[in-house]
Structure 1
Amino acid sequence: MSPAQISLGALVLVPLSAAVLTAALPPAVRHWPGLLAALSGAVLTLPVLWVVQGGQVVELSLGGHSAPLGIHLRADGFSVLLLLLTAVVGGLVTVFAAAFPASTGRHMVAGTQPGTLRWQPAHPAFWPLWLGCWSGLNAVFVAGDLFNTYVGLEMVGLTAVGLVALGRTRSWEAALRYLFIAVLGSLLFLIAVGLVVSVTGTLDINQAALVIAATPDNHAVVVTALILLTVGLSLKVALVPLHGWLIPAHAGSPTAVSPLLSALVIKASLFVLLRCWLWLVAPGMSTNVGAPEAVAAPAIATTLAWLSWTLAGLGTLAIVFGAVMALRQSRLKPLVAYSTVAQVGYWFLFFPVLLNPESGRLEELPVTTLGEDVVIAGAFGGTLCLVLGHGVAKATLFLAAGYLKEIYGTDELDQLRGVGRNHAGLVLAMGMSAIGLAGLPISLSFSGKWLLSTSAIASGQYWIVGVIVLATLLSAAYLLRMMAPLLIEAEDDGHLLNPPERRQSSLPVVVLLPPLALGLLTLVTGFSGAWVVDLLEVGAPW
């Protein structure tokens, strides 16, 4: 067994073991296994990345039993990119939480007077829940079959609900609403899995894709399953109009929880959605992805086209609606949360490119001689660049917003006017992440927009370019709305602003390192767009 194969299983088992260990330890020392798990996650990801970057897919059959009977783990380029994002963001947020225990939530303890209760910072349940969530995330990214994908999604969803509930009482309603959404989304996905198994006889994704391609008579059942899982996973991703749970959950969570939810948790559902569309269904129904003989019946093709355009339309609506709502916010964390609603819309624009019936005639277009597989690879690579860029930038913004709220006891923008002079490093991190979130040059999101735009033009989907331009302008507007009050030093009449009173005098210097590191990564990763596209070719279905 190679080091990469060992790492594949350890990426799931190490954080899961650490979660069990932290639950048994006293609260004061629970952060140590968390830090060790974060370090282990980074180390274990490297052998997998090394092998996949060399052009090979890493596979492991647990217990020596291969699919469909055994548990089959698989890491291709798509998996590795999400594992890497989880290791980086999860590791830095873990450092933040360990250095700043109050950021992990509040819990009730007995007061000084008999029969009274008081709120105590540093929630002891954070570490078991977060490490369990980390294990679930890695399980989703390396699962080779649909059942273990479902198990991983359940771990992520239930632990994320628990993390949301670590705030004060106002977070409990948001957690309960999130629980209903998580259960409903998982139920729809599980029904879809049952339908796929009923016509393919296997849970393994690659094996099921081969059966789907070989049995056109079952395509109607498969498309029904695809619709169900798309609705269920869109609930978990918070695609407009299914986004209502996200704002109170992300904005009302503790400081160390919000970046995990926005940067990582919703990515698990998006990963499964894209995996099912591209690896499970498209090879047997789309000539653009599968073999030339993979042709769906006209009714099936029409249904898939309708579904792809519906997702793109909702994505466009999400971009506009999320941006407008972000502009209307007076508090920092809800503004950042609504920007997630807007950014989610980007991730659904490429579906018409995937199933565009005109893309089979690309050689006839005067603007390009690219083949269908190259265009789809570019659109998918651009989408993944946007996903990764969003994860890094959004983690920065939520950490910074939570930091300011902990220091001053509020995230009202009017009350935070002028605080930038006292937190230059934090504002610098926010500025770098704002560049990335807006998709300006030298950021990874800019590379993603460029790749998606060029692929859209190559396939004749010119409207996508217009949406991206509009979205960039709207992003710049609400990010300016976020940054401007923090940088104001004087009133209109020239009088200097008095910064608000601090609720806490100071925090450890190490607390500033995670947002600064993530802000810097937002820009540094801007040069890795071509690398992301090349890595996605490893194990790709086209």
Structure 2
Amino acid sequence: MAFVLGAAVLLPLAAAGAVALLGPRTARIVGLGSTLLTGVLGVLLAAEVSLHGVQEVALGGFEAPLGIHLRADGLSAVFLALTALVSVVLSVFAATSKDTPGGFWPLWLGCLSGLNAVFVSGDLFNTYVGLELVGLTAVALVALGGRGAWGPALRYLFVAVLGSLLFLVGVGLLVSVTGTLDIAQTGAAMHQASAEQEAALLMAAGLMTVGMGLKVALVPMHAWLISAHSSAPSVVSPLLSGLVIKAALFVVLRVWLWVLPEAQLAEPLAWALGALGAVAVIGASMAALRQDRLKPLIAYSTVAQVGYWFLAFPLLVESTPGHDDVAPGAYSGIVALAVGHGVAKAGLFAAAGYLKSVYGTDEIAELHGAVRTHPIVVMSMGLSAVGLVGLPVSLGFAGKWQVATAAVEAEQWWMLLVIAVGTVLAAGYAVRGIAPLLMQQDPHAGDADLSSEDTDEGPTIKTSRNFTSVPGMAVLTLGSATIITGFAPTWLAEVLEVGAPW
């Protein structure tokens, strides 16, 4: 597995450099092929972790803390599998879409390399390098949306750089206390930290968490996400929401569960994160209900879903006697929610981009009755919405159930109320976005023919009833995966125990 660990990072990085020198057609073929191969490597690595435990390699034979240490445990395996699924399907979508902008493939492959680097890094500095690669390529991908996207891309750049800077300062504080960058060695050293060093450790934890909070768009640091995800090209928005923000969540979990000292030291910060998560769940959901366009609605729902992840953070440091299963249950629930969100949100954004390409707008009123001409795409949106709302037979439901169960164990009843209200609001904005598309009657033109509109399948919407169009089938694959992954919470919980910190 040593080869696979390195290849999962280096293959897409090398392909990004090669693709940048190729013509558009060849770049599309090489880019798609490289993504497919990288996805295979990610699946192989996830399977190896699931079957045989933690996989590690010291590049060049130099052990930590001197060398570059790659390590894949259960948390890595889950996010590698998510990245493999979403990246492969969306790369097929991008390769067959007429709206894929020039320059997409080298930037996307660089971003994919950064994602895998974050997931398999065994030390904090290389985690930072991976985050920087993800952030900078993601900003450039947003900027491919044209002049209207340059402002949001610039704001995203400021946020990405500031978040990375805060994280790096936190890493510097940790090194000053522990003398190492290796994640495992840092965690072990922190348990022997003196009382004088605890202030520096708490400051490091706060800086790193705030930095990742910026990148993941936790309320109130979320405004950049709405404009960036809404104005990005149709093939980029699903990648940003489905995968890119997951890198920051992964790092937060890695820092909190593998690096931080005793739970009591981080408890005040955990409760602050829980409160911000509750505000995000309710506030962003209400904002989504007021949107008249699909992409901003879906973007606000991302902010709301991020809230669920941080809502459960107080449970990660819960120290109630006799409730030793609270933290593992909350941890498993957070990851299940994140994975379910990644698949469902990638499907919703891809579908919204597809419809915007066909109709020239993502105004919900203008998409009224889209099911008549694009039944596959609208059905796929419904499947993805099942996971987004958290209905049964979805990972969203399994994640909420696990977080709710942990909250009951810890007697944190207010969390149950937030989850219940958030679920009702999520159902409301899902209906607001999808119900008009299901209407058979067009309020603007009655039964008037819509054949004057352009589609991906030809010059008229009537000819778009091709159920085998590749972009449409890619969207359907993500919608179906939202339901299929709902049968995987047991596997996910078992894999997360591989290399777990308890």
Same fold (TM over 0.5): yes
Cα RMSD for the two superposed structures: 1.6
What is the CA–CA distance in structure 1 between the aligned matches of 2:38 and 2:189, rounded to whole Å? 35
Letter in 1 for 2:180: T
Correspondent of 1:41 among 38, 41, 64: 38
1:438-517 → structure 2 map (5 Å cutoff): 438-490=389-441, 495-496=446-447, 499=450, 501-504=452-455, 506=457, 509-517=469-477
Q: Which residue matches 2:153?
A: 175
Q: 1:419–1:499: 8 Å Cα contact kept in structure 2?
A: no
What letter matches 2:499 in structure 1? G
On the 8 A contact 1:408/1:500 being kept in 2, the answer is: no
Contact preservation (8 Å) 1:418, 1:497: no
In 1, Cα distance between the equivalents of 2:100 and 2:370? 23
Is 1:519 matched with 2:479? yes
Shift of 1:142: 0.3
1:326 aligns with 2:305: no
Distance 2:436 2:444 in 1: 16
1:9 to 6, 9, 34: 6
Q: Give the match's secondary structure for 1:54.
A: helix
Equivalent position of 1:256 in the other structure: 235
Pairing partner for 1:235 from 200, 214, 226? 214
Q: Percent identity?
A: 52
Give 1:104 shift.
2.1
Aligned-partner Cα distance in 2 for 1:103–1:341: 26
User: Structure 1's 142 and 421: CA in aligned 2 closer, same or farther, altered over 3 A?
Assistant: same
Equivalent residue number for residue 207 of structure 1 = 185
Give the Cα separation in 2 of the matches to 1:516 and 1:198. Answer: 50
> Does 2:84 correspond to 1:87?
yes
Q: Which residue of 2 aligns with 1:103?
A: 99
Distance 2:18 2:442 in 1: 53
Q: Deviations over 1:29-79 (max 9, x none)?
A: 101111111221222123322221125100010000010000000000000
Distance 1:92 1:146 in 2: 30
Deviation (angstroms), 1:393: 0.3
Q: Hey, what's the Cα distance between the residues in 1 that align with 2:340 and 2:109?
A: 23
Contact kept? 1:490, 1:497, Cα under 8 Å: no
Measured in 2, the distance between the counterparts of 1:493 and 1:140 equals 49
CA contact (8 A) 2:369 2:442 kept: no
| Alignment coverage as a number of residue pairs | 492
The one-letter code sitting in structure 2 at the alignment partner of 1:153 is L
d(CA) in 1 for partners of 2:385, 2:210: 30
1:486-537 CA deviation, whole Å, 9 max, x = no partner?
0111268995365484233626811112111110010011111111111100
In 2, distance between residues paired with 1:49 and 1:477? 36
- Cα distance in 2 for residues equivalent to 1:453 and 1:493: 44
Deviations 1:312-355 (A, max 9, x none): 11111111111111111111111111110111100001111122
Say if 1:491 and 1:174 are closer, same or farther in 2 by CA, change over 3 A. closer
Q: Identify the residue that residue 537 of structure 1 maps to in structure 2.
A: 497
Separation in 1 of the partners of 2:258 and 2:41? 25
Structure 1 residue 421: Cα displacement? 1.0
Structure 1 segment 19-30 matched on structure 2, within 5 A: 19-30=16-27
SS of the residue corresponding to residue 343 of structure 2 reads: helix
2:104 pairs with 1:126: yes
Q: Does 1:393 align with 2:344?
A: yes
| Structure 1, 436-445 or 215-224: larger mean CA deviation | 215-224
Matched, 1:353 2:315: yes
3-state SS in 2 of match to 1:194: helix
* 1:346-385 mapped onto 2 (5 Å cutoff): 346-357=308-319, 359=320, 361-362=321-322, 371-372=323-324, 374-385=325-336
CA contact (8 A) 2:387 2:396 kept: yes
**Structure 2 alignment gaps of length 5 or more:** 459-467
The reply to whether residue 69 of structure 1 matches residue 66 of structure 2 is yes
Which residue does the alignment assign to 2:262? Answer: 285
2:191 match: secondary structure: helix
How far residue 28 of structure 1 moved from its aligned partner, in angstroms, is: 2.3
Which residue of 2 is the match for residue 142 of structure 1?
Answer: 120
Q: Distance in 2 between matches of 1:529 and 1:233?
A: 26
- Name the CA distance, whole Å, in 1 between partners of 2:392 and 2:122: 36
- After superposition, the Cα gap between the structure-2 partners of 1:262 and 1:500, relative to the gap in structure 1 and judged at 3 Å, is farther
The amino acid across from 2:315 in the alignment is V
The amino acid across from 1:237 in the alignment is V
Alpha-carbon distance in 1 for matches of 2:451, 2:361: 10
SS at match of 1:73: strand
Which AA in structure 1 matches 2:218? L
Distance in 1 (CA, whole Å) between partners of 2:347 and 2:92 is: 13
Asked whether the equivalents of residues 217 and 225 of structure 2 are also in contact (C-alpha less than 8 Å), the reply is yes
Whether 1:404 aligns to 2:355 is: yes
Unaligned runs of 5+ in 1: 106-122, 287-295, 363-370
AA matched with 1:178:
Y
Residues 18 and 131 in structure 1, CA contact (< 8 A), matched pair in contact too: yes
Distance, in Å, in 2 between the alignment partners of 1:337 and 1:199 is 39
For 2:42 and 2:156, how far apart are their aligned partners in 1?
30
Task: Quote the Cα distance in structure 2 between the aligned partners of 1:501 and 1:420.
Answer: 17
What is the correspondence of 1:298-309 to structure 2 with a 5 Å cutoff? 301=265, 304-309=266-271
Deviation (angstroms), 1:21: 0.7
Equivalent residue for 2:461? none
Write the deviation string for residues 430-462 of structure 1: whole angstroms up to 9, x where unpaired. Answer: 000001100000011101111111111011112
What SS is found at the alignment partner of 1:348?
helix
Match of 1:194 among 160, 172, 182: 172
